Structure 1
């Protein structure tokens, strides 16, 4: 009887492994949002890792996490590293391609709690109200990754974080855009007032 039970378990495990092997070897998560914001302001929030703390959905998970900035200040060659609790783990991001107001492509490396390398990109395109941002992540599933996909849908797991991150980015980008518009309006008003004052002085000076 014991032999039959063990044989049955072996058959089940073999069948399970065979099924896991048929799972997709790649995965992709993508979300898009439209901002009423300036494209260059929105682009800068991604192209400069120093701004990620303003909108990243993961930065608030561990307020004590350690972060490092290396390489270029912005754009290609900029490197951002983090190490924190079990919620954030440890990893590194490196900007590999940067096209102003169009694209930022990042190499995303997870070190802990598991090791993997993924391709992440942010695409920016003109929209009627400002700019449309598409955040995409692509990766490969090894055997363990395929097994994990049986229990958790990667799109469902990361998609919510992407939505939250884009919502936070929208808030920051729109606030900065409004701040810039107000500053420009104030500057124009001051220039107009100054011009009117000079014109008034000229009129007064030319009046007998």
Structure 2
């Protein structure tokens, strides 16, 4: 079952790419805007490495809703952040996530993009409909946080 599934959402935030970069690259800061925060009040988190640098990680383990997995920063550049995302529960999957940042006047266009290989699981679930609304919520919350 060859092929790739892409989920992508976009928003603009009133700030510069440089000011926005730490909110995305520093994984401990995701607790302030991630759309998945609050799914499990007892969520276990573990961070390794220097926040905002290539190789830093965030691993989580939670209830059925939160699942378990790991994110690893793959790249941090002025125009964005690359993240390797691996879920171990409720199902195994690996994706490549990219946040693309481009200046538009006094604002920054943020594109949150996830690419995953097509799997048996993806035949039964529309990942865009499943994850797209979460990306929209996360971008809204990031915007509220940064523009506050």
Q: What's 2:61 paired with?
A: 83
State the TM-score, normalizing by the size of structure 1: 0.68
Contact residue 6 and residue 113 of structure 2 kept, 8 A: yes
The two structures, once aligned, show a CA RMSD in angstroms of 1.4
Spell out the pairing of 1:20-99 with structure 2 (5 A cutoff).
25-99=3-77
* TM-score normalised by structure 2 residue count: 0.94
Q: Measure the CA separation in 2 of the matches of 1:57 and 1:68.
A: 18
Q: Higher strand fraction: Structure 1 or Structure 2?
A: 2
Give the length in aligned residue pairs: 148
Which of 122, 125, 132 aligns to 2:99? It is 122
Instruction: Output the CA distance in 2 between the equivalents of 1:117 and 1:75.
Output: 21
**Higher alpha-carbon Rg:** 1
Work out the CA distance in 1 between the residues paired with 2:54 and 2:63: 28
> Quick one: which of 121, 129, 142 aligns to 1:144?
121
Find 1:160's aligned residue among 123, 133, 145.
133
Q: How far off its partner does 1:130 sit?
A: 1.4
Deviations 1:74-120 (A, max 9, x none): 221110011101111000000011103x1100000001111111000
Which of the pair has the greater relative contact order for Cα pairs under 8 Å at 6+ separation? 2
